[in-house]
Structure 1
């Protein structure tokens, strides 16, 4: 019995030792972004970046473009990224304060609607760096980025005005009427419209332009309703400037067998054959560049970066998706004319008007 007891005690001792060694060598990896953001391979602490949205991801537009730029920074610089989404203004403010309070190195506010929030709270966190995309707020720890959306919209308006005369294209009527649907009634969207109107009238001074605001960036059904109403008033092509609401604009084009113009990202293939072109606004580049400036130590507060057509901040897509859909009915003179107008805007031969209520610098 004594021998058996001794053998059993030895066996238990060995098993305890093995279990202890095993627990030290096979700890499970934590998959959360915050918990896995220790030191990188070079031994330096990872940069912590928070993106705060005034809406939701999945809009295939403004927010998704910012996300794409941030993910490129994750891949290139190994940063830790946190993203907060909400459509409620009260939550936008609390999200910004929360990220600054948690000590994120850079808090990026992805919308002009954060201007007043940053003006109020950035001074409370002098050691935190902030960035505002699509608006301007002054502050020693704020970098702002704006775009020449009026220049990009000038090209979009010109394209729409030409397209509405192409009656060889299915369901394009003889009426010289085009449409425009925006999200919130805010200065930056008026800047879009000013350029769109000027570009359309550059082609045809007598063209009629329908304008509607949904009052939100997060209601596709409202966007669809407004677009269908414009089609019923004679428009056969409508520009979407409405983020998540704009998905309804594009859906209306498909449902009514009409046409639309996309915005912010390349939306041409959302409904192939119904999106003539998209006015690309490089929110992805703006987001990436401000993160890069912090990584490389070149971040400088109280400055504004202006991304115009010459800097590649805005442009139209090449219409290749529509060209493939229409075949020999595709009006090749439109992209040719747009290329000509783009060069004139770049050179300054064409001066595109801007909305006075939208600050840039």
Structure 2
């Protein structure tokens, strides 16, 4: 009881300390009537990133349309806001609280047991608990395909902007384990094609700074990379803009970003965060929610994939190398069959 009172006090102090945080972060139609299932989604960043957060929101909006649930979105860019938003919805009696990213893991571990009547879901990591479900992805598998694609494209010097150096790049948002899992697959995929390729790596340290993303991407292009993968949420649009400015290329992430800078984005590594959010809500609506369970969405499940390159094909026309598509199809089949085993960053994967 003392711990619960302490949590309530902490939530109040943090919420009042963040002037207007709760009202500022409210988005989405709150619906009407007490009979609706109430779902709160806590974001570690802002909507409008055209990437991870927007994908999660797409799943929530589909669930709202299909099931008539009430949705509340809480956005935040600092750890203080994340914890305050999380505690506030715990206290508000939501049926389901979705922690949209692994940045919320420590708060869920610390506080979920104090709210046994609340159901929790966390995306992109695994947290144990009788009232918690976890949904994560084989982003290493999708990134393996992205790395292979980058390594294949960088050999096609007949395409304007592709140099003769065996160098590609990768820029992440925050330096967290799930992004290292992305990089592990990306590097392995690139080296599967060319063992001698050099893969540059940078972290912006934030999900919300496009200028920083652009700066890091331009630095990698200056070091000889001609293709850089974006894994940076709201920081990512700067990476894609940097590709266009430098006359080079990028790979998008999470949502289909191929049209964000048409002709500069080769493909995007889709990560179906929308499906994860939707499935969590559906389980509560249909009464199938089961705590202490983990879903791991792989290439086989459609949890991750590459886009079809159609936008880039339109941009380069006859210069598009069809042999790359054939090779990527072969690689995908080998991953699905188990002939190619994609490495995980320690602590990630189905057998975590």
Give TM-score, length-normalised by structure 2.
Answer: 0.91
Contact 1:149 1:314 in 2 (8 A): yes
Q: Which runs of 4+ in 1 moved over 3 A?
A: 31-34, 357-361
Confirm or deny: 8 A CA contact 1:135 1:359 kept in the other structure.
no
Matching of residue 90 in structure 1 with residue 85 in structure 2: no
**How many Å separate the matches in 1 of 2:29 and 2:221?**
46
State which of 97, 120, 128 in structure 2 corresponds to 1:138: 128
Which residue of the partner structure matches residue 166 of structure 1? Answer: 156
**Structure 2, unaligned runs of 5 or more:** 1-26
Match runs of 1:103-118 below 5 Å? 103-118=93-108
User: In structure 2, what is the equivalent of residue 119 of structure 1?
Assistant: 109
1:191 aligns with 181
Q: What's the counterpart of residue 243 of structure 1?
A: 233
Is 1:147–1:308's contact at 8 Å kept on the other side of the alignment? yes
Shift of 1:171: 1.3
Shift of 1:359: 6.1
Q: Does the aligned pair in 1 maintain the 2:28–2:71 contact within 8 Å? A: no
Q: In 2, distance between residues paired with 1:204 and 1:32?
A: 47
Equivalence for 1:79: 69
1:226 to 198, 216, 219: 216
2:51 alignment counterpart: 61
For residues 357 and 212 of structure 1, the distance between their equivalents in structure 2, rounded to whole angstroms, comes to: 21
**Equivalent-residue separation in structure 1 for 2:186 and 2:253 (angstroms):** 12
The Cα shift of 1:91 comes to 1.2
Aligned residues: 325
Task: Mark the structure with the bigger radius of gyration.
Answer: 1
2:260 and 2:325 map into 1 onto residues whose CA distance is 20
Partner of 1:16 in structure 2? none
Question: Who is 2:318 aligned against?
Answer: 328
Name the residue aligned to 1:215.
205
CA contact (8 A) 2:269 2:304 kept: yes
Counterparts of 2:37 and 2:149, CA distance in 1: 43
Closer/same/farther in 2, CA of residues 32 and 314 from structure 1, 3 Å limit: closer
CA drift of 1:357 comes to 3.6
Provide the alpha-carbon RMSD of the alignment: 1.2
Residue 145 of structure 1: how far off its partner (Å): 0.5
Quote the Cα distance in structure 1 between the aligned partners of 2:103 and 2:244.
31
List alignment gaps of at least 5 residues for structure 1.
1-30, 40-44
Find out whether 1:38 has 2:33 as its counterpart: yes
CA distance in 2, matches of 1:179, 1:357: 24
CA contact (8 A) 1:220 1:249 kept: yes
CA shift for structure 1 position 32: 8.2
The alpha carbon displacement at 1:207 in A equals 0.6
SS in 2 for 1:188: helix
For 1:272 and 1:185, the matched residues in 2 are separated by: 28
Distance in 1 (CA, whole Å) between partners of 2:341 and 2:349 is: 17
In 2, Cα distance between equivalents of 1:358 and 1:215: 21
SS of 1:346 mapped into structure 2: helix
What secondary structure does 2:171 align onto? strand
Deviation readout 1:294-353 (Å, 9 max, x if unpaired) = 000000001111001111100000101000110001111112111110010001000000
